[in-house]
Structure 1
C-alpha cells in the first residue's frame, strides 16, 4: 500500500532548475556527513554522529540535515517525537481525525495504511535522499493541520518548530530497559532482512550503554524533550508509555486536549475513546497485512512488537538491569524525571 500513501503527493514534478537545486543541496549535505565521525553500525553499514546523536545512513540518508534546512513549521502543525514508537502515530492520527474517520469504521485509514504512511517521519521518509532521489518534498501541498513524526532530538529540530508559539510537539518514551530491548529486536529484524547474523544481546547492550543506539544517546534524547516540556508546557507534551498503558482513557483525553481536539462528554458516553484504544491496540494493528511486511523498505513489520511492560526481565540479566538503572539515575539526576 505504500505507493498510495497520502504523503506521496508531496513529491510532485518540478521544473529542471528546481530539481538541479535540490540535487545541489543534497550533494552539499552528503559532503558534510562524509566529514562527520562514523562507525560500522548495527546493520553492517555506517552510522554517523551529527550534533552529538547517531544516525544510520541507510535508514535516514542525510535526512536530518535536509529537515533542518528546508522544513518550515506551520502554526497548526503537530509533531510526534520519540526514540521509536509506532503506537503514538496511530493514536494521534485517530484522535485528530476521528470526525472524518470514526474509529469504529471499517474504512478507517489505519486498516489500509501503516501509520508511517499517515504520519510520515520527516528525516526517515520525507527528506531521506536514499528513498526520494534527492528531491525536497513540497509539504505546503498537504492539508492543514499537518501531522508529522520524528526521531530527531529536540536540540536538532528546526527553529520554526522550537521557537513557534503555536506548533505543538508530543513526545513519548519508554523506560530505559524497554527502550533498549525494543531497539535490539528492531535491529535484528532488519539484520535478518539483509541476511546478517542477529546482533548478540550483550553486544547491543554495550552499544546502548555507550549511547550509540539509533538516535542515541537515549538519555540525552529523552532529557531534551523533558526539559522542553518544562520550559514550554503549552507546546511540548511529555508522555511515558507505561503511564499511557496503565491509564489509556486519561492520557488519550489529555492528548486530545493538547492537540486541540478535546473529547466531548457525548463522545465519552458513546465510547469513542474505547473505540480508539481498540483500533490502535497492538493485537489489532499487528494482524493487518499492511503491518506485516518483513522485507523491503521501510520494513513495516519491524515496527510492531508488543508493548509488554516488564518484558525486559525475560531477556536482561540482573547485572544488566542494575547497570541501566544506575546510568539512568546518573543521567537524570536533578532533572525531576524518573523512568
Structure 2
C-alpha cells in the first residue's frame, strides 16, 4: 500500500529534507499530561512575564488537539541557522553591539513558513483529502516539547531544543495533520551533568535546570518586554541589543553544528554582524524601518530598539557616545528618555 503510515512517514521525511529542513520527526497530536503539567507550573509561577498570550490561550497550547481537535499527528521540523562566526566574539566590546545570530539574516517567520507550506501542499497532493495546518512561532504551539516528542532533539537545561547533529541552532516549525503517522520515540536527554548554559546566563534567568524565568531572560527583555527594564538587570544586558545567544553558544553539542548546513537565507547581513551603537542611536522611525526591512528586528519598533541600544551604550564605558545619549534624554518616548538618562549617568560616572 503506497500510503501506509510507515511508508508515508519516510516519504515525508525525505521531502522535508529536500525542502531545506535539517530535521523532521513525528509525534501524536494527543495531549501529553506531563507536558501540560509543566506548562501550568510555568504559567502559575509567572515565568511568562508580560506575554499574556501564553496565559490567554493555554488550553490551545496544552496539546495540538486543543487547538485543532481533528489533528492526529504532528510533523515537527527544524531548519538550521548555524553561524559561521563565534556568537560570543564581541562580548564586552566598547565599539560594537551584539544582535542575536538568528536575527542577523532574513526573518525566519517568512522563510520557514514558505517551506512548511510547500511541504504541506506536497502532502495534500500525495494524500488527497488530508487536513493540514502549518505553524511557525506565531500560534499557541509548543514547538520545543513537540520536537522532543517527535525525536528530533531534546529540551536542554536551557529549555531550548538540542539536536545531536545540529546543536541548538534550529528554527522550529510544525505541521498538524489529520493523517495518522507513526510517532517516533521521544528523544533521550543527553545533557548529563553539564551546566554550561545555566552558568553562562548573565542575568540568572534559570532558577533551576530545565526551568526558564522569562522575566530575567535577555531575549525576553530586549524583544518582548515593552517598558523600562528593571535597573538591577540593565548591567547584565551588556552590549546585547536584540536577543541573546549565550546559553546556546556555550552548549557543547554545538560543536557538531556546521554553518554549511544552514539555510542560505539566514546568512547574516554584514551591517548586523558587528553594529556600532552610535550609528543605531541616531535612528528615527523611518531609518529604523529602512534598515530592518525583512528582518525580525523590525517587529519591536524603533523606540524599543533604541532603548536597548541605550542600555548597551551605558554599559560600554565609551564616553564618546555621551553627546548622542544626552540628546535622547529629550526623546518623546518616556521609556527611551529613561534609558538615556540611565546610560548618561553610567557614562559620566565611569572613571
* TM-score normalised according to structure 2 size: 0.32
